[in-house]
Amino acid sequence: MGNLDRLCFYSPEGTFSTNSESRHMHLVYIHIPLPMQNMNYNFHVTEDNRFVIFVNNSLKWVKDDSHALQSLFISYKFKTELHENKEIKEIKDILDKLSESISPECSCVVVWFLMNGDKNGIYDYKDNYEQLGQLVAGLKGDKCSNLAGKPKIVIGQMYHYIPQIQADSGISYTTSSEADFLFSVLESKSEPSYGSEDGHGSHFVQTFVREMEKMKKEVNLMMAIKNTRNEMNIRMNALEKELLMEIRSTLTKFIYLLIN
């Protein structure tokens, strides 16, 4: 299973701790005891699983990243949707409709944002702001019974952005301990830290895709996120740039895609 004790997880107390791994990086973690080996979200690849990505087309690397992510999840038979340059209201409507369309056979939903924003939320192309948790609230089990007890993964690569009229991000939206959410958000104030070495896409997304592709019969989503985080640490240290990668989670099990 590997050692995942440094991956960020839900804490029953809901408290955050800051761990500065070098003078260049400030990473935020939440800790819980590791899941037991028999505590997994095991599900087979199926077209009932859903992947939705929202992008701001004006941002660098978005085209390469969105293509790579769609290709990755299509290879796992996820039903994928790409939404470009949407306003906050449109994003909410799309996610509400997604919640209504989830079938009982769906095992997992992944929502990815490649947009301007911060660790708590996103700005649309008109500078409207909303917290991530509020955007995906309709996916909670009490709103979508077909997703109750199933993992909902929300990942964002937030391009640090200061609009003319800055929104108050307020306190991070929280979910109950039974909500089975994982929020993983990368925010960097330095654009060079985003680019991958080959110039195709961002380092964060392209590394995540490679980590997923390394796994064969059992694809561990949480391990892929952990390995991506470690690669980002190395990248930031070499560039001497500041990185904020925050993971907030109410998941209590490992997430495995079982490849037939």
Identity of the residue numbered 75 = S
Which run of H or E residues covers position 38?
Answer: none
Query: Please, what is the average pLDDT of the chain?
Result: 75
Is 7 a domain residue? no
Q: Give the per-residue pLDDT at 24.
A: 35
pLDDT in tens, 192-240: 445 566 667 888 899 999 999 998 778 888 889 888 888 887 777 776 6
Three-state DSSP at 57 gives coil
> Does residue 10 sit within a domain?
no
Residue 5 within a domain: no
Asked whether the predicted pLDDT for residue 177 surpasses 70, the reply is no
Question: Which tokens is 156 given?
Answer: 């964002």
Whether residue 13 has pLDDT greater than 50: no
The gap from C-alpha 73 to its chain's centroid, in whole angstroms, comes to: 14
**Any idea what the CATH number is for the domain that residue 36 is in?**
3.40.50.1460
pLDDT for 260 equals: 64
Rounded to the nearest 10 degrees, the angle between the axes of helix 203-214 and helix 221-239 is: 140
Query: Quick one: pLDDT at residue 201?
Result: 84
Query: How is 216-234 classified by DSSP, letter by letter?
Result: -SEEEHHHHHHHHHHHHHH
The segment with the largest mean pLDDT, out of 4-8, 90-94, 245-249, is 90-94
Predicted confidence at residue 70, as pLDDT, reads 97
Domain residue limits at 235:
17-258
CA separation for the pair 168, 148 (Å, rounded): 31
* Cβ-based burial of 15 (10 A; exposed 0-12, middle 13-18, buried ≥19): exposed
Q: How far is CA 144 from CA 71, 93, 106, 138, 199, in A?
A: 27, 15, 11, 7, 40
- Number of structural domains, the chain? 1
Q: By 3-state DSSP, what share of the chain in percent is helix, strand and coil, each rounded to 5? A: 30, 30, 45
How far apart are the C-alpha atoms of 81 and 53, rounded to whole Å?
6
Answer yes or no: is 4 within a domain: no
Q: Is residue 2 part of a domain?
A: no
Cα–Cα dist 211/184, whole Å: 16
Q: For a pLDDT cut of 90, what percent of the chain falls above it?
A: 34
User: Would you say residue 11 lies in a domain?
Assistant: no
* Residue position matching structure tokens 């990086």: 25
Tell me the per-residue pLDDT of 19-40, one tens digit each, with 9 for 90 and over.
333 333 333 333 333 444 456 8
* 200 contacts 64 by C-beta, under 8 angstroms: yes
pTM of the prediction? 0.79
- Burial status of residue 71 (CB atoms within 10 A of its CB: 0-12, 13-18, 19 or more): exposed
CA distances in angstroms from 196 to 17, 64, 185, 230, listed in the order given: 29, 11, 18, 15
Q: Residue 1 falls within a domain, yes or no?
A: no
pLDDT of 190: 54
CA distance 257 to 260: 10
Looking at the DSSP assignment, which residues form a beta bridge with residue 258? Answer: 44, 218
Does residue 122 sit within a domain? yes
Whether the Cβ atoms of residue 14 and residue 174 lie closer than 8 Å to each other: yes
